[in-house]
A and B are shown apart, each in its own frame.
Chain A
Amino acid sequence: MDTEFEGVVDRFYQPLYRFALSLTRAESEAFDLTQQTFYLWATKGHQLRDRAKLKSWLFTTLHREFLGSRRRGVRFPHHEVSSVEHQLPVVASTVVNDLDGTTVMNTLLEVEELYRAPLMLFYLQDHSYKEIAEVLEVPIGTVMSRLARGKDQLRALLADRVTRGADNKIVPLKQSQIGAANG
């Protein structure tokens, strides 16, 4: 049992943490959220009969825990694919290639909350748009529109960051800053 549990941890704790960070923007909260997800897996995971759905179960659980912790009373607006404008800022892959992981993550954390989660799941690459829809519990069209808009924002921010240079480094919020940021 220990070996099986640790196998699941080894396979998923890194992408789960990065996904949690994209939701919370705070390292300590992402840490807790990841731990809580594995705690739920250890205590309730036996209810999952189809082990092929393990990845989806873990990401969905983490997302639900995040929403629960935020106690949101409002639903996110759904944008239809056809209504989304589409004009991406130009950023070359070679330019992004010169940036490090921390810089790209910090830039992603500046994207609006609504778009961060699907973007992160998309870039973790194990998730198709259908799986993203399942994890976030939203329609497929909504995922597509959020991905498109999220990419718009991310590229604009990356272009801006490249233009400005690396002077204004942004770091994920610490626990003590969360209240102010959410308030």
Chain B
Amino acid sequence: MDKQEAKLLLQSYRPDGQDAADPAFAEALALARQDAELGRWLENECALDKVIGQRLREFPVPPDLRGAVVTGQRSQRRISKPVHAWWRSPSLAWAAAIVLVFVAAYFVRDGSDSSVALAAYRESMTANLRSGFVFDQRDERPEKLKDWLAEHGGMPDFQVPAGLREAASLGCKLFEFNGMKSALICFSLSDQQVVHLFVVEGTRFRPQDFEAAACALRCNDYDTFAWREQDRVFLLAGGVRPDRLRELAGISPESSEN
């Protein structure tokens, strides 16, 4: 085997040494140990392959893909399997009735003054992220997604927060919350992190919910930051630190405590 043949073979050698014991590479690796030039070449080759591999594995995967796969499978199973008549079981029917009574009581109490709680909104929206969803529209330009939301969801214009204006968007989705439309736009940050911006009509939210301590809370495994701007309520959620969320929102710590 000459050096050229060795180089050709070693192009298939993985940089982390998983193939070190593979006899197919033994002769080429032995040559690399004896030949300083070939050894340096292999070292550089592995370093370069390692970096390329790392960068490719950092390429962001759509945040809704996992949810779409799992949800699709559950739907398929519902279609293909016979439905169990669980309500025919007296104990389960009673349990369901009791839950319904509590849920109804909660909404009657909460809806008596038509106000909605920020905590309920945060819980509902992060639960949507956790359970998975499919984008209604995909575009890397947030302005295009805002246009789509205005056309399809009756979500009037809103300002993208200052810290997200340079970020590329991934897609958008409309959710329902207490009879209101809640818009979601997902952003990909320059460091490959993904953050989710929810916007909803804010007039029915209780002002006292936006005191500083309530704005940055963790919910359903997501750090969140909420704020109110004119007649909109914004909720940022993501796997980034709460102070980073605040920066992205373009809100200084002082102003949120007022």
Contact = CB atoms under 8 A, between A and B. Distances in A.
A108 B56 contact: yes
B56 A123 contact: yes
Contacts of B22: 128
B73 A104 contact: no
B88 interface: no
A10 B12 contact: no
Interface stretch (B43-51, B154-162, B246-254): B43-51
Nearest to A129: B12
B69 A9 contact: yes
B69 A105 contact: no
A80 B72 CA distance: 43
Contact of B8 (A17, A81, A97): A81
Contacts of A105: 55-56, 59
Contact of B51 (A35, A93, A151): A93
Contacts of A21: 59
Contacts of B16: 125
Contact of A10 (B44, B50, B66, B77): B66
B11 to A, nearest CB: 4
A178 interface: no
Interface residues of B, number: 44
Interface in B66-85: 66, 68-70, 72-74, 76-77
Given A17-B61, A93-B51, A100-B190, A144 B66 contact: no
A56 B13 CA distance: 19
A156 interface: no
B69 A13 contact: yes
A99 interface: yes
Nearest to A18: B59
B211 interface: no
B68 A35 contact: yes
A2 interface: yes
